[in-house]
Amino acid sequence: MIARLGAAAGAVWLYGGSATAGAITGTIAGFMSATVRTATPLAFAALGETLCEQSGVINIGLEGVIIAGAFASLVGAGAAGLASGVALAAVAGAAIAALFGLFAVILRTDQIIAGTAVTLFGLGLTGTLYHWLYGSAGAALSIPTMRASPLPGLARIPVIGQALFDQSALTYAVYVIAPALWWWTYRTHAGLALRAVGENPDAARAAGVAPRIVQWWAVILGGVLGGIGGATLVLAQAGTFAEGMSAGRGFIAIAVVALGRWHPLGAAAAALIFGAAIALQFLFQSMGWPAPYQLFLALPYVVTLFVLAGAARGRRAPAALGRRDL
Amino acid sequence: MSAPDIAGALDALWRGAFGSKYVIFSATLVRAVPLTLTGLAVAVAFRAGVLNIGAEGQFLAGATAAAGVGLLIVSWTHYAQQLVALPLALLAGAVLGSAWAGIAAWLRRRFGVLDVISTIMLNFIALDAVAYLVRGPLQEPLHIYPQTPSLPPALHLPMLVPGTRLHVGFAITLVASVAAWWVLRATASGFRLRAAGANPFAAASAGMIDVGATTTRAFLASGALAGLAGAIEVTGVTYALYDNISPGYGYTAIAVALLANLNPLGVIVTGILFGALSAGAAAMQRDAGVPAAVVSVVEACVILAVLLIQQRRPRAA
Amino acid sequence: MIPPALALTDITKRFGALVALDRASLSANWGTVHALLGENGAGKTTLMRVAFGMIRPDTGTVTVAGIAQRFGSPTDAIRAGIGMVHQHFALVGAMTVAENVALGSRGLYDASAAAARVRRLSADTGLSLDPGARVDALSIEEQQRVEVMKALARDARILVLDEPTAVLSPPRASELLQWLRRFADGGRAVVLITHNLREALSVADDVTVLRYGRTVLEAAASTVDADRLAAAMIGELREGLPNPLTPSPEGEGGSPLLKLRLDDEGLRPSTPLGKGVRGRGAVIVADHISIADDRGVVRIRDASFAVRGGEIVGIAALEGAGQHELLRALAGRAQAVAGTLATPGHVGFIPEDRQRDALVLSFPLYENVALRGAGRRRGRVRWRLVRAHTASIVAAHDIRPGNIATPASALSGGNQQKLVLARELDDNPSAVVADNPTRGLDIQATAAVHTRLRTARDRGAAVVLYTSDIDEMLALADRVLVIARGQVRGVVHDRDAVGRAMLGAE
């Protein structure tokens, strides 16, 4: 049921011409470029989820948010261009997140079960709508895709120039959004209130902050960013949509948040690690590594497990994460 | 894009699930077997406070073990020994399913990793492992199709109702459910499991129960049940291992378990209900062109509805 | 005539069938310390929560400086100049002092400006704090100072404190009271919620006494004495309750708390010392043990002591001294990280948080009774026997409601505690460990608990008891152990000695 885009995405990556056979630096630069490109949707989702978890809510429905954003961007871009695709993705992501928020924040049901249901819902709904709107033939659609726009001057820096500054506009958006979220969380009273709600909602309430309202908006904003992450998958990576193409990225994003120690900049950095794991698969494929490439497909998930196991030390999760009795 | 024919779809759904005696046995009940057994696995785990979302991966592990071990035994002994090979294959399935869950249980106990995330990761890893195995070491001898060789009759589960496709696995499932129900209700270890899931603090403090060991055991038992489900599916229905052998049983199992209020006997009923849904959905897709993904939406709505109802009325353990 | 700083008039509040406040009133003037007295459950906290905007009253008015107010939330009360220091601190442990003080404001947050603000407040008020310190690293007194500073940072002119000295040692408590005196003398108002008569009389200008949600006494402190206040707090009884003012035969059954307050300042316990230590052997033996909390931090080091059968050992300690961890270890629910701790196999344990640690609220009564010994039981559970045993417990101890199939959540706190006590004590264990067993219980339930503990002692059990009320502990204990600075030491059965020892002084 949860199929993966796997081989198709790999082919697009190769076809995109970022990895030229031959020069090793070309391959490394290509690998790094692919890493940043693959990390972008993870970064969006993880930044949103960081905000959400800082307020004490863990959204396991993030996978549903991402796939909803991916599908919405297909519809939006096909109908009215790239900007509409991104905008519709943000709306769809917020809508799915609102469904989750209804159960987790307003009704205060178990966050994990509600999140699982929302993921199933998102995957099922997008699959159904996809078949219904595009028929069983599906895929071969012409929608505008976001090409890489090299930044003048910066893109010419050897190796990292291509990796960091020859990317799509959405990747550049991450470079802006991550520090902006960092500033907002640590340099405004609203950000202080957000973090207080995630640590001790009773203390926040006694100080005049309304915990549920804070959590609600954190969930919604997480949905907006997650939806845009889904749009990135379609518009800046694959150029098309397939059922289940999120392939567990929502859950990987949750691991990214933990690895990034619930800090926006940490999340962006941690997303790179997972982007590298995913890009590594395609690198091995392109290098003609013999046979069991399916095992390399499992690499990101194995890395996630290791990361979560090791991430127990250090900065703690928000103390009130997952609490229902507000 | 065509307007959906709702009446036609519902008709196909009903006929696909209950249209005839043959359909009931061979479609609905056959599909109910993995759903009930994985639902049981999830129910047992949830009752103990373990959020095992990994029944999907444990199912695959069980199916792989059954196929692999079964084929191995048969190839060694050179003659059909249904009496030995089949039970061993089923046992292997339960063992590997338990071990797969054991990884998550260990990560939870030793490192405090959230069971939800680790089990989902393991699901994806299992999917990839199966994809590799059926294209590599376990592939059928002609190397054309990504699947294991067909299992010989020695590894086929006997039929329960002749003339249909309902196999002995259905009986095994019923027995497992009743056994689980009895254990939870009447034994000391079942009580410990329930207490640990309902309130681990009181279980440890008032009951002096080793909550860590109890939940780990529940996790392993859950994995064994899901693995057994996979083994039964391979030896009773598909007679081979291939990609997509599970259309998401492990995730549907969550809805099956929650709708049954985590009651092992109730799981039989909800398992049959979802079996009917699944059989009907296949017919719906075939005859009325409605995509199977709709079932996921239905499952999600079921879970959300149950959550909603439970919020009004806190349920007794 | 200047209107009072804070006046609550005819406040009524119902929670379902429970009448928490019944036309209660309080009137505090500027420049005074006003003590609000009452037993547990009299409604003191509820009344001040109304004043702070956390609870909307059903009837009645709240005026500040003569102007009627309508508070929708604490924000409104804060804006009107009221600051509240809660009994359970509302602080974010992982954040710094400056961040906690700044929480709730608007706009941009500048860490250095916030730190400067804290330093300025420290200088102005004499409450010294390090702005950059993490709150969960502070001592209890310092954390309380942060709570006070939070209120002052919002320009509170009326300061309400809920049982502030409950967590302080006697010297620190008097420091706080003196500070409050000076604060009030500066023209502002203080409302001090307490159940401690001595404290109230030492610092207050006026007192108000609540009983069962009603104001039964409003007077200037100079016109009343301890007896009068005690009588007002306990007063006439509802029907059916024993009158704790008249001692029953052998001095049992009456409220020892009240007897203590009616005694003179020496506070002699009414039961003779040493009764019950009839030369029984040691039941619990601790030999150089160290105890850690669940984060692995060692709280108690190198402690050696023994508890004999037939005695009650009382533990005295400030909050956070490690007493809960020690009690859990003595009850066999946790391991010592060093040394040898010998405990009998099956210790009766009454934990502090009964809803979390003693009961599974969703389980029926008989399954809760079955919890005892569940860890070691094998094979099948004999439910018929369990149900019969539960039915007899319920009948013998008058636990309501009496249907053994009802979930434990349906019982009141007192009935829940009765069930826990019966489960743990009915089979005469050789050792009993009780952690704040009377928390949240009314007078009658409290007396019942005391009786059960004494009975267990008389039957030869070794009883270890901790309560945060020193007077209650002294009334029950035959012997006292004090935990301070990570050490456990025996101390003379004398209130001042115990108080000093709790602080770690020699």
Answer whether residue B30 shows pLDDT above 50: yes
Answer whether residue C259 shows pLDDT above 70: no
Q: How far is C151 from chain A (nearest CA, A)?
A: 9
Q: Give which of B182, B187, B205, B261 to mutate to test C binding, by max C Cβ within 10 Å.
A: B205
**Domain tally, chain B:** 1
Domain boundaries defined on chain A: 6-14+26-138+169-310
Residue from B33, B268, B32, B280 nearest B157 by CA: B33
Tokens 């990987």, residue? A252
φ/ψ (deg, to 5) at A3:
-80, 170
User: Using 50, 70 and 90 to split pLDDT, how confident is the model at C276?
Assistant: very low
Answer whether residue C268 shows pLDDT above 60: no
Q: What does the pLDDT read at residue C238?
A: 40
Q: Which residues make Cβ contacts (< 8 Å) with residue A262, sequence separation at least 6?
A: A50, A53, A54, A315, A317, A318
For residues B22 and B33, give the distance between their C-alpha atoms in angstroms, rounded to a whole number: 16
- The verdict on residue B276 lying in a domain is yes
A258-262, A289-293, B228-232, C498-502: segment of lowest average pLDDT: A289-293
Q: Which residues make Cβ contacts (< 8 Å) with residue C342, sequence separation at least 6?
A: C284, C285, C286, C287
Percent of chain B at pLDDT exceeding 90: 54
Using alpha carbons only, give the angle C92, C93, C99 rounded to the nearest 5 degrees.
Answer: 55
Which residues of chain B does C359 touch, with a Cβ-Cβ cutoff of 8 Å? 199, 202, 206
How many alpha carbons fall within 13 Å on the CB side of residue B83? Answer: 0
pLDDT in tens, B260-271: 999 999 999 999
What is the architecture, at CATH level 2, of domain A6-14+26-138+169-310?
Answer: Orthogonal Bundle (1.10)
Answer whether residue B272 shows pLDDT above 50: yes
Q: Where in chain C is the domain with CATH 3.40.50.300?
A: 6-234, 268-347+429-506
In what side-by-side order are the strands of the sheet with C282-292?
C298-308, C282-292, C338-342
User: Using 50, 70 and 90 to split pLDDT, how confident is the model at B3?
Assistant: low
A263-273 CB burial, b ≥16 within 10 A, e <16? bbebbbbbbbb
Query: What is the per-residue DSSP string for A265-282?
Result: HHHHHHHHHHHHHHHHHH
For residues C305 and C479, give the distance between their C-alpha atoms in angstroms, rounded to a whole number: 12
For residues A268 and A257, give the distance between their C-alpha atoms in angstroms, rounded to a whole number: 9
Q: How far is C46 from chain B (nearest CA, A)?
A: 28
- A62 versus C438: the higher-pLDDT residue is A62
Answer whether residue C253 shows pLDDT above 70: no
* Of residues B187, B208, B315, nearest to C375 (C-beta): B208
For residues B171 and B173, give the distance between their C-alpha atoms in angstroms, rounded to a whole number: 5
| Domain housing B65 | 6-312
Which residues of chain B does A110 touch, with a Cβ-Cβ cutoff of 8 Å? 307
For residues C113 and B104, give the distance between their C-alpha atoms in angstroms, rounded to a whole number: 47
Answer whether residue C298 shows pLDDT above 60: yes
pLDDT in tens, C190-202: 999 987 778 888 8
Residues within 8 A of C (CB atoms), B 173-212 only: 186-188, 191-192, 195, 198-199, 201-210
Which residues of chain A does B293 touch, with a Cβ-Cβ cutoff of 8 Å? 1, 123-128, 130-131, 243
Q: Are B307 and A305 a contacting pair at CB < 8 A?
A: no
How many alpha carbons fall within 13 Å on the CB side of residue A209? Answer: 32
Q: Which CATH class is domain C268-347+429-506?
A: alpha beta
Percent of chain B at pLDDT exceeding 70: 95
Which stretch, B194-198, B290-294, C425-429, has highest mean pLDDT? B194-198
Q: What does the pLDDT read at residue B79?
A: 60
DSSP at B260: T
Answer whether residue C251 shows pLDDT above 50: no
Q: Are B205 and C351 a contacting pair at CB < 8 A?
A: yes
Contact between B164 and B22 under an 8 Å Cβ cutoff? The reply is: yes
Residue C363 in contact with partner chain B when CB distance is under 8 A: yes
Which residues of chain C does A211 touch, with a Cβ-Cβ cutoff of 8 Å? none
Average pLDDT, chain C: 84
Length, in residues, of chain C: 506
Residue from B40, B60, B41 nearest B100 by CA: B60
Amino acid, res. C75:
T
Residue A4 in contact with partner chain C when CB distance is under 8 A: no
What is the fold of C6-234?
Rossmann fold (3.40.50)
For residues B301 and A128, give the distance between their C-alpha atoms in angstroms, rounded to a whole number: 14
pLDDT in tens, C20-64: 899 999 999 999 999 999 876 678 888 998 999 888 999 999 999
Q: How far is A324 from chain B (nearest CA, A)?
A: 12
Contact between A262 and A76 under an 8 Å Cβ cutoff? The reply is: no
- The verdict on residue B62 lying in a domain is yes
Answer whether residue C250 shows pLDDT above 70: no
Alpha helices in C162-310 (DSSP H): 170-185, 197-203, 226-234, 256-262
Distances A233 to A2, A71, A180, C455 between C-alpha atoms, Å:
16, 10, 23, 72
Distances A204 to A190, A211, B285, C92, C457 between C-alpha atoms, Å:
11, 7, 52, 8, 45
User: Using 50, 70 and 90 to split pLDDT, how confident is the model at B35?
Assistant: very high
Helix or strand holding residue B7 (H, E): helix B6-18
- A140 versus B23: the higher-pLDDT residue is B23
Chains that contact A by 3+ CB pairs under 8 Å? B, C
Q: Which residues make Cβ contacts (< 8 Å) with residue A25, sequence separation at least 6?
A: A158, A159
Contact between A170 and A87 under an 8 Å Cβ cutoff? The reply is: no
Answer whether residue C264 shows pLDDT above 50: no
Residue C285 in contact with partner chain B when CB distance is under 8 A: no
Residue from A321, A109, A122 nearest B304 by CA: A109
pLDDT in tens, C83-123: 999 877 889 989 999 999 999 888 889 889 999 999 998 88
- The verdict on residue B1 lying in a domain is no
Residue A204 in contact with partner chain C when CB distance is under 8 A: yes
Other CB atoms within a 10 A radius of the CB of residue B21 amount to 11
User: Using 50, 70 and 90 to split pLDDT, how confident is the model at C235?
Assistant: low
| The pair of three-digit structure tokens given for residue C299, joined into one six-digit string | 């709280």
Contact between B56 and B251 under an 8 Å Cβ cutoff? The reply is: yes
Query: What is the per-residue DSSP string for C379-432?
Result: SB--HHHHHHHHHHHHHHTT-SS--TTSBGGGS-HHHHHHHHHHHHHTT--SEE
Answer whether residue C266 shows pLDDT above 90: no
Contact between C53 and C130 under an 8 Å Cβ cutoff? The reply is: no
- The verdict on residue B317 lying in a domain is no
Contact between A182 and A43 under an 8 Å Cβ cutoff? The reply is: no
Q: What is the CATH number of the domain that holds B122?
A: 1.10.3470
Residue C364 in contact with partner chain B when CB distance is under 8 A: yes
Answer whether residue C215 shows pLDDT above 50: yes
Distances B51 to A75, B42, B58, B261, B307 between C-alpha atoms, Å:
35, 8, 14, 15, 15
Q: What does the pLDDT read at residue A31?
A: 85
Residues within 8 A of B (CB atoms), A 178-207 only: none
Contact between A123 and A249 under an 8 Å Cβ cutoff? The reply is: no
Cα–chain center distance at C355: 16
Chains that contact B by 3+ CB pairs under 8 Å? A, C
Cα–chain center distance at A323: 24
Give the pLDDT of chain A (326 residues) as one tens digit per residue: 334 444 444 444 443 444 444 456 667 778 888 899 999 999 999 999 999 999 999 999 999 999 999 999 999 998 888 999 999 999 999 999 999 999 999 999 988 889 989 999 999 999 989 988 887 665 556 677 888 888 887 877 777 887 888 889 999 999 999 999 999 999 999 999 999 999 999 899 888 888 999 999 999 999 999 999 999 999 998 888 988 899 889 988 988 898 888 999 999 999 998 888 888 877 776 776 665 777 777 877 888 788 778 765 555 678 888 887 77
Helix, strand, coil shares of chain A, percent, nearest 5, are 70, 0, 25
Amino acid, res. C318:
L
Which residues of chain A does C99 touch, with a Cβ-Cβ cutoff of 8 Å? 192, 196
Q: How far is C450 from chain B (nearest CA, A)?
A: 21
pLDDT in tens, C9-26: 999 998 877 788 999 999
